[in-house]
Structure formats: structure tokens, C-alpha cells
């Protein structure tokens, strides 16, 4: 049953990623694209955790943590760039 | 693994994935930038938290000892999601993103950007 | 302000405990890492203590727990709320901006307040005025402006004022 649950969750998350990619392509303005990228980061964290569950190894935890850290930093760097036209002041 | 725990883990996984899918549907469907900000911020926090709790239960049983590592990711996301949303909102105000016509109090957005007092004309 | 800081064993006790706990979680509570984590938890605050500024400290730690619990419930409620609005027709959505007058001025409670507003039903904090008197909030579906402002102030600002005593 767990195998099927993991497969269903993977399918749902892939749909979510496809919708994010769609918003990333059509997004009328630059901030819209940033939200799409930010959501894609979080969805990919969930997808990596699911991959770890599927293979039964706890080793994917570190990569999920790294994506979480880098996702936040890059989102704030993008926003800073839009706000000031520069990242490091 | 007992049947009960397997059911709990599966339910948490599917529920979390559904919540994240709803957040992404909101991102794709809602009419303007500021409304689009709402869906991913909230849905991603709860969705990822559910999937991480499921993973925590699974590995605690599989490895045979208490495994709390996933709590760190969900705490991190709980703290950073609102901060990222605030920065995105600020960037949207600065960029003067187009709003839907049904938005009330559109003058407040301009005043927030110009740092004026909200009640003066 | 230039006077040399007195040597203190635990300059920031809460951070020391948090650092030790996070280290234990990362290394599955093994005995060697308990000692190593304790060394880090003592030495790192000495090094970074001169960098930290004076900030508000929670005066009532018990209240923090009830506030966190309420926040977690509100996150679940807000997810249900937003999911309902997303899946319904978006034609009759009434988004709005509101300005919430603030009573808190210290940075730490203010950060917690704005984050709570972002995580709770249908509101995202968008901008803070430079004099820290107004918080601009975007609402997904606004029915009654005054009632919402009062709800936000009573539900999140009042407990924070009590916790931090300001």
C-alpha cells in the first residue's frame, strides 16, 4: 500500500511541478516568475523526500536540506535584485 | 511495519501531495500577482510538513531509533516561507505589478510604496 | 558604549540550548556528539557574542507555547480557507489592501507578528512603513475591513505584547 501511496504522491507532485513550470513560462511579470521558481524549490524538496522513501534510504535528507537552504537564499537574492537593482550593496 | 502505521504514513503522503498540488493550482489559476502570492506560501508549509512527518515515521521504524532530522527542514520552511512572501510582496509593490480591477483600496499600495501616511490624502 | 564586555559563561543561553539540540538531531543523539555538541554550544556563543545586539527577550515563556499552538491551528485553518477559495470560481473574489496600525516597535516581536500574519487565513503582509507604525497587508477575500484589523490585533498582537512585555 505504501508503494502505491508513494506513486500517487509522486504523480500529484509532478502535476504541481508542471503547473509551476507553466506559470514560469507565461508569468506576465518578473515577480510572478520568482514565485514560480520558489514554489518549484519547495515541490522538489517533497519529491526528493519521496524518492528517499521509495528507495528506503535516509541519505536523501541532506540534499533536501540543501535545497531548502539554497531556495530561500536565492529567492531573497532575486527579490533584492528587483528592489535595488543590485544584490550586494 | 504495522498496518496501522503504514496507513498513517500513506495518508500523510497523499494528503501532503494534494495540499501542494492545490497550492500550485492556485499559482496557475488566480487572477493577479498579489493573490497568487497567497496560495504557495500557505500550501507549501503544510504540504511539505505532512510529507516530512511521514518520512520521519517511516525512517524511525526502519532504522530502529528516533529520527527527528526532518523536523529541521519543516522548522526552516516554517520560518522562511513568510519572510520570502514578505520580500516577494515588497518586490511586487516596487515593480508596480498590475492588479485586478476588483482590488479594493488600491491607493494603499501606492502609499506603501511611497512611504506615505495611509490616512492622509 | 565602547567599554569591554564582561566575560560571561553563557552570553546567550537560549541559543546555546538550541544549538546543542539541533546538533543532536543531526547526529541521532549519539554519546560522542553529545559532548562535541556541548563544546560547540559553549564556544560558539563566546565567539559571536560581540556581534549580537540587544534584543527583546520573551518574558513569559509559557505563553510562547500557547501562541505556537494557536499558530499551528491557524496554519491548518488557513490552508483549508485558501484551498476553498482557489478551487471555487475566482470570478467573485474580492482582494484588498489594508493598513494595520501597529503598537509593537521592537524588531523581534515585529518580525514574529508579520510572519504570523503571513501564515494565517487569507492575509499576507506586504510592506512595513519606515517609522514602524503601519503594516500593509494584502487580503485574499475581504468582507469587513475594520473587523479584520481588530481580529488581527486581538489575535496576534495582544499575546505578543504580553509575551515580550512591551
- Dihedral angle sign, alpha carbons of residues C113, C140, B109, A74: positive
DSSP assignment, residue C155?
Answer: I
Given the C-alpha cell 565567539, which residue does it identify?
C47
Q: Which residues of B18-54 are buried (b: 16+ CB within 10 A; e: fewer)?
A: bbbbbbbbbbbebbbbbbbbbbbbbbbbbbbbbbbbb
Phi/psi at A56 (nearest 5 deg)?
Answer: 70, 25
Q: What per-residue confidence (pLDDT) applies to B107?
A: 75
Residue of B108, B110, B115, B119 to mutate for C, most C C-beta atoms under 10 A: B108
Q: What per-residue confidence (pLDDT) applies to A44?
A: 92
Percent of chain B with pLDDT strictly greater than 70: 96
Lookup: cell for C22? 539541533
For A22-65, how does the pLDDT look when each residue is reduced to its tens digit (9 = 90+)?
999 987 888 899 999 999 999 999 999 999 999 988 888 889 99
Residue A88 has pLDDT above 80, yes or no: no
Residue A17 has pLDDT above 90, yes or no: yes
Q: Which chain A residues are closer than 8 Å to B87 by Cβ?
A: 75-76, 79-80, 83
Which region, left, alpha or beta, applies to residue B81 given φ > 0 means left and ψ of -120 to 50 means alpha?
alpha
Residue of B60, B78, B83, B86 to mutate for C, most C C-beta atoms under 10 A: B86
* Closest residue on chain B to C27 (Cα): B69
Q: Which chain C residues are closer than 8 Å to B48 by Cβ?
A: none
- Residue C70's Cβ-count burial label (10 Å; 0-12, 13-18, 19+) is middle
Q: What per-residue confidence (pLDDT) applies to C1?
A: 44
> What's the mean per-residue pLDDT of chain C?
82
Residue of A38, A57, A83 to mutate for B, most B C-beta atoms under 10 A: A38
Asked if CATH classification 2.40.160 holds for the domain at A2-84, the reply, yes or no, is no
State the Cα–Cα distance between residues A83 and A31, nearest whole angstrom: 11
Show the 3-state SS of chain A: CHHHHHHHHHHHHHHHHHHHHHHHHHCCCHHHHHHHHHHHHHHHHHHHHHHHHHHCCHHHHHHHHHHHHHHHHHHHHHHHHHHHCCCCC
- Dihedral angle sign, alpha carbons of residues A16, A17, A18, A23: positive
* Closest residue on chain C to B108 (Cα): C97
Q: What per-residue confidence (pLDDT) applies to B121?
A: 55
Q: What per-residue confidence (pLDDT) applies to C2?
A: 47
Specify the range with the lowest mean pLDDT, choosing from B18-27, B44-53, B62-71, B85-94.
B62-71
* Closest residue on chain A to B61 (Cα): A56
Quote the pTM value: 0.87
Per-domain residue ranges for chain A? 2-84
DSSP assignment, residue C165?
Answer: T
Q: How far is CA C41 from CA A84, C12, C35, C72, C148, in A?
A: 37, 10, 10, 29, 43
Interface predicted TM-score of the whole assembly (ipTM), two decimals: 0.88
Residue C157 contacts by C-beta under 8 Å, 6 or more apart in sequence?
Answer: C102, C103, C104, C113
State the Cα–Cα distance between residues C35 and C20, nearest whole angstrom: 9
Lookup: cell for A66? 540543501
What are the residue ranges in chain C where pLDDT is below 50?
A: 1-2
Percent of chain C with pLDDT strictly greater than 90: 4
Under 8 Å between Cβ of B90 and A79: yes
Q: What per-residue confidence (pLDDT) applies to A86?
A: 66
Q: Which chain B residues are closer than 8 Å to A5 by Cβ?
A: 9-11, 13-14
pLDDT band, very low/low/confident/very high, at A87 (cuts 50, 70, 90): low
Q: What per-residue confidence (pLDDT) applies to C81?
A: 84
Lookup: cell for B95? 515593480
For A69-80, how does the pLDDT look when each residue is reduced to its tens digit (9 = 90+)?
999 999 999 888
Q: What per-residue confidence (pLDDT) applies to C118?
A: 87
Higher pLDDT, B121 or B15: B15
For B16-32, how does the pLDDT look when each residue is reduced to its tens digit (9 = 90+)?
999 999 989 988 888 88
Q: Which chain C residues are closer than 8 Å to B92 by Cβ?
A: 126
Show the 3-state SS of chain B: CCHHHHHHHHHHHHHHHHHHHHHHHHHHHCCCHHHHHHHHHHHHHHHHHHHHHHHHHHHHHHHCCCCCHHHHHHHHHHHHHHHHHHHHHHHHHHHCCCCCCCCECHHHHHHHHHCCCCCCC
Amino acid at each position: 500500500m505504501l508503494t502505491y501511496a508513494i506513486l500517487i504522491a509522486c504523480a500529484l507532485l509532478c502535476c504541481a511541478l508542471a503547473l509551476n513550470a507553466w506559470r514560469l513560462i507565461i508569468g506576465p511579470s518578473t515577480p510572478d516568475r520568482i514565485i514560480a521558481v520558489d514554489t518549484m524549490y519547495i515541490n522538489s524538496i517533497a519529491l526528493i523526500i519521496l524518492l528517499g522513501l521509495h528507495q528506503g534510504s535516509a541519505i536523501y535528507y541532506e540534499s533536501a536540506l540543501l535545497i531548502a537552504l539554497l531556495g530561500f537564499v536565492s529567492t531573497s537574492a532575486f527579490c533584492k535584485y528587483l528592489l535595488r537593482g543590485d544584490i550586494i550593496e | 511495519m504495522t498496518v496501522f502505521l503504514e496507513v498513517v504514513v500513506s495518508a500523510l503522503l497523499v494528503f501532503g501531495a494534494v495540499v501542494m498540488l492545490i497550492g500550485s493550482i492556485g499559482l496557475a489559476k488566480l487572477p493577479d500577482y498579489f493573490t497568487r502570492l497567497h496560495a504557495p506560501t500557505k500550501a507549501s508549509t503544510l504540504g511539505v510538513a505532512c510529507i516530512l512527518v511521514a518520512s520521519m515515521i517511516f525512517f524511525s521504524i526502519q532504522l530502529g531509533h528516533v529520527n527527528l532530522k526532518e523536523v529541521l527542514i519543516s522548522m526552516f520552511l516554517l520560518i522562511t516561507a513568510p519572510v520570502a512572501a514578505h520580500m516577494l510582496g515588497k518586490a511586487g509593490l516596487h515593480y508596480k505589478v498590475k492588479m485586478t480591477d476588483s482590488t479594493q483600496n488600491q491607493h494603499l499600495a501606492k502609499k506603501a510604496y511611497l512611504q506615505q501616511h495611509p490616512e492622509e490624502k | 558604549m565602547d567599554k569591554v564586555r564582561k566575560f560571561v559563561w553563557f552570553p546567550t543561553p537560549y541559543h546555546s540550548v538550541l544549538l546543542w539540540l539541533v546538533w543532536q538531531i543531526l547526529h541521532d543523539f549519539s554519546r560522542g556528539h553529545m559532548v562535541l555538541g556541548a563544546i560547540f554550544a559553549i564556544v560558539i556563543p563566546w565567539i559571536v557574542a560581540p556581534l549580537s545586539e540587544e534584543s527583546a527577550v520573551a518574558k513569559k515563556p509559557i505563553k510562547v507555547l500557547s501562541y505556537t499552538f494557536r499558530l499551528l491551528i491557524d496554519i491548518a485553518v488557513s490552508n483549508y480557507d485558501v484551498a476553498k477559495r482557489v478551487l471555487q470560481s475566482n470570478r467573485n473574489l474580492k482582494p484588498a489592501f489594508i493598513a494595520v496600525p501597529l503598537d509593537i516597535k521592537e524588531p523581534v516581536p515585529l518580525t514574529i507578528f508579520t510572519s504570523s500574519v503571513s501564515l494565517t487565513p487569507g492575509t499576507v503582509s506586504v510592506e512595513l512603513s519606515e517609522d514602524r507604525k503601519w503594516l500593509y497587508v494584502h487580503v485574499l477575500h475581504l468582507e469587513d475591513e475594520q473587523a479584520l484589523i481588530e481580529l488581527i490585533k486581538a489575535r496576534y498582537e495582544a499575546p505578543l505584547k504580553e509575551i515580550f512585555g512591551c
